Amino acid sequence: MPEKIYDAIIVGSGAGGGMATKILSEAGMKVALVEAGPFFDPKDPVTATQMKWPWESPRRGASTNRAFGDFDMSWGDWKVDGEPYTQKEGTDFMWWRSRMLGGRTNHWGRISLRFGPNDFKHRDIDGLGDNWPISYDEIKPYYDRLDKMVGVFGSKENRRNDPDGYFLPPPKPRLHELYYIKGAKKMGVDVIPSRLSILTKKLNNDRGVCFYCRQCNRACNAYADFSSSSVFVIPAVNGSGQVDLYVNSMVKSVTTDDEGRATGVSFINKEDRKEYQLKGRSVVLGASACSSARILLNSKSKQHPNGLGNSSDVVGRYLHDSTGGGRVGFIPALMNRKTDYNEDGVGGMHVYSPWWLDNKKLDFPRGYHIEVWGGMGGPAYGFGFNASDLNKHVGGVVGGYGDKLRDDVKKFYGAVIGMDGRGEAIARKENRCELDPKVVDQYGIPVLRFDYKWSDYERYQARHMQDTFEELIHSMGGIPLGDKPTKEQDYGLLKPGQIIHEVGTTRMGNDPKTSVTNKYCQLHDADNVFVVDAGPFVSQADKNCTWTIMALSMRTSEYIVEQYKKRNI
């Protein structure tokens, strides 16, 4: 049998790889999609967790087997069996991997924010980090098409750095969110309807409409939210006949020829634990920012002695994650609520606060947005722990048992509100992932070693978050719970990686000496290799990265199609 040569080999089936699979296959290119995890379809009743009851889990949803709980639809979390990662001494980066078709998009928060004009040129504003080689105006047409292709609810707000799009209508706020809106407005914090890729209205005939179970993290069997599995990959595999899907196939490296151009990939089949190769005219990496960097670093050859695309020594560098901090408050006015209505809503907040201040007047350079949670959610493991403690704030008796305890549980149900800040960190060259010189995973592939430290830019931002949360809780008539994090605790700043927005490891730029890809996410060092995950991000913005991953992947994929038609690849 003659050797099959694919037009493109796509590595990873998440947001970036899924988009590339759709665009390239629909353009008639013959595609191999290579995924390290098994097949997954949110519709498959065998693996589905959506709409299950807590008592179906013997641990009532506790996190023994899955870090975000028994019902969370991520196969793999901070740990993946047999696939460790290591840390430089004194650092602690957390890395989430979902090993399954669609990757992390099966359980993500669906927060779908465009980056704004400032976000692409932030160095011009504060002199920190670097500008992107592209502007908002260049990406806008792709965001516009993405909105219509995938669906996102939101509202027109005419905020310069939070651009509007083609939105489905947002859901009405829940009760605790009305308290948040009122409290935020009173203190001058902006608040608008949230922007999530959940179908509150029919988008097309292929996908269902949200039925308000609040369980997007379990993957939607009606395909009413965005998962790359349901929205991109499965339709592409079923539809065009152009896609060969390889699952349980762990890509180790990109193979290259004497000219240093890619010839395909080398991968481990997890089922027989043997190494195989696929041949392709181009390779599109969408394995996730860190995994794609790892593949490039492991692709050493005579032509690329420092790893493929790494003549600049920039692969793995400029790694940065969103900052994170949170606080919880008790709202006495929400005690003894009427419970006889279903408040589940969509899977996530119905309202949020985009960044509302000017950093020129603050002691930290970049902004953050605030996510809000609360309400009468479905009980799971942990529900009712220390149920009567809130009595101490309202003159009641803490402790007890019997009918008094039952009354306490009901009295305080839905009376707690939480806020999480998600902010922009400064990308720094020293923060990186690199190959560990000694450690391999169970497939014999050198693993990543992380080396990431926060700076005062992020710490002072976290301090501002905490001050804001406290003020917001008071403004809502509430009482902040727990202790305010101190300087010694980095003001509650979560660990790098913990927000799962890691970006920047193969950053784009016009200068091959200081960047890995050009503005089309094409390697400077090998013109038939592209990166479509969050690796090419120059900076993260105070937004979530997925919507920009997909807009960039669409743009890069169409560039690949163009190059293919011109026979450049």
Partner 1 sequence: MKRRDSLKTLLVGTIGGATLASVSGCQPETAVDSKTETNPEGLYGRLPKEIEHDEKVKAEIYLNEHELATIAVLCDIILPATESAGSATDAEVPAFIDFIVKDIPSHQVPMRGGLMWLDSEANRRFNKEFIACISEEEIQIIDDIAYPDPDGEKPEMGPGIEFFNLIRNLTVTGYYTTRMGFDDLGYTGNFANTWDGVPEEVLANHDVDYDPEWIAKCVDQSKRLTIAEWDDDGNLLT
Residues 237 to 296 in contact with partner 1, rule: CB under 8 A: 237-238, 241, 243-249, 264, 269, 271-272, 274-279
Distance CA 188, CA 383 (A): 33
Q: Near partner 1 by CB under 8 A, which window of 37-45, 283-291, 432-440, 548-556?
A: 37-45
Is there binding between residue 117 and partner 1 (CB under 8 A)?
no
Could you tell me the smallest distance in angstroms from the CB atom of residue 472 to partner 1? 15
Q: Which positions ≥6 away from 131 have C-beta within 8 Å?
A: 120, 121, 122, 123, 124, 538
Residues 199-218 within binding reach of partner 1 (CB under 8 A): 200-205, 209, 211-214
CB atoms within 10 A of CB 470: 16
Q: Near partner 1 by CB under 8 A, which window of 109-117, 377-385, 416-424, 539-547?
A: 377-385
Is there binding between residue 60 and partner 1 (CB under 8 A)?
yes
Is 155 or 510 the residue whose CB approaches partner 1 more closely? 155
Could you tell me the smallest distance in angstroms from the CB atom of residue 165 to partner 1? 6
Is 339 or 486 the residue whose CB approaches partner 1 more closely? 339
Is 37 or 535 the residue whose CB approaches partner 1 more closely? 37
- Parallel, antiparallel or unpaired: strands 432-440 and 351-353: unpaired
Distance CA 552, CA 361 (A): 32
**Can you tell me which of 13, 21, 25, 57 binds partner 1, judged by CB under 8 A?**
57
Q: Which positions ≥6 away from 306 have C-beta within 8 Å?
A: 300, 313
Q: Near partner 1 by CB under 8 A, which window of 53-61, 308-316, 452-460, 478-486?
A: 53-61
Is there binding between residue 171 and partner 1 (CB under 8 A)?
yes
**Can you tell me which of 410, 411, 453, 459 binds partner 1, judged by CB under 8 A?**
410
Is 194 or 506 the residue whose CB approaches partner 1 more closely? 194
Could you tell me the smallest distance in angstroms from the CB atom of residue 237 to partner 1? 5
Distance CA 50, CA 366 (A): 37
Structure tokens at 70: 């028994």
User: 440 pairs with which residues across the strands?
Assistant: 446
Could you tell me the smallest distance in angstroms from the CB atom of residue 243 to partner 1? 8
Is there binding between residue 341 and partner 1 (CB under 8 A)?
yes
Is there binding between residue 394 and partner 1 (CB under 8 A)?
no
Question: What sign results for the dihedral spanned by CA atoms 219, 14, 78, 271?
Answer: positive
Distance CA 517, CA 506 (A): 7
Alpha helices in 275-372 (DSSP H): 289-297
Under 8 Å between Cβ of 31 and 243: yes
Distance CA 509, CA 501 (A): 20
Size of the site for partner 1 (CB under 8 A): 119
Is 409 or 439 the residue whose CB approaches partner 1 more closely? 409
Structure tokens at 509: 């730029």
Distance CA 121, CA 138 (A): 13
Distance CA 183, CA 372 (A): 12
Is 445 or 516 the residue whose CB approaches partner 1 more closely? 445
Report the alpha-carbon angle 126-131-133, nearest 5: 165
Is there binding between residue 115 and partner 1 (CB under 8 A)?
no
Backbone phi and psi for residue 208, each to the nearest 5 degrees, phi listed first: -80, 180
Is 121 or 410 the residue whose CB approaches partner 1 more closely? 410
Could you tell me the smallest distance in angstroms from the CB atom of residue 145 to partner 1? 12
Is there binding between residue 194 and partner 1 (CB under 8 A)?
no
Give the SS3 label for residue 484: coil
Is 38 or 512 the residue whose CB approaches partner 1 more closely? 38
Is 212 or 559 the residue whose CB approaches partner 1 more closely? 212
**Can you tell me which of 68, 78, 166, 559 binds partner 1, judged by CB under 8 A?**
166
Distance CA 400, CA 437 (A): 57
Encoded one letter per residue, x for contact with partner 1 by CB under 8 A and - for no contact, window 289-328 reads ----------------------------------------
- Parallel, antiparallel or unpaired: strands 351-353 and 446-451: unpaired
Name the residue among 34, 29, 30 with its Cα closest to residue 14.
Answer: 34
Q: Near partner 1 by CB under 8 A, which window of 8-16, 174-182, 310-318, 513-521?
A: 174-182
Is there binding between residue 221 and partner 1 (CB under 8 A)?
no
Name the residue among 561, 550, 557 with its Cα closest to residue 150.
Answer: 550
Is 153 or 364 the residue whose CB approaches partner 1 more closely? 153
Is 102 or 504 the residue whose CB approaches partner 1 more closely? 102
Is there binding between residue 169 and partner 1 (CB under 8 A)?
yes
Could you tell me the smallest distance in angstroms from the CB atom of residue 245 to partner 1? 6
Q: Which positions ≥6 away from 383 have C-beta within 8 Å?
A: none
Residues 412-471 within binding reach of partner 1 (CB under 8 A): 413
Residues 496-535 within binding reach of partner 1 (CB under 8 A): none
Is there binding between residue 48 and partner 1 (CB under 8 A)?
yes
Give me Rg for the CA atoms of the chain: 24
Is 198 or 425 the residue whose CB approaches partner 1 more closely? 198
Under 8 Å between Cβ of 256 and 262: yes
Structure tokens at 278: 């696929």
Torsion of CA 546, 432, 458, 63, to 10 degrees: 60
**Can you tell me which of 10, 14, 71, 287 binds partner 1, judged by CB under 8 A?**
71
Is there binding between residue 234 and partner 1 (CB under 8 A)?
yes
CB atoms within 10 A of CB 385: 7
Could you tell me the smallest distance in angstroms from the CB atom of residue 523 to partner 1? 23
Is there binding between residue 172 and partner 1 (CB under 8 A)?
yes
Name the residue among 306, 296, 303, 301 with its Cα closest to residue 252.
Answer: 296
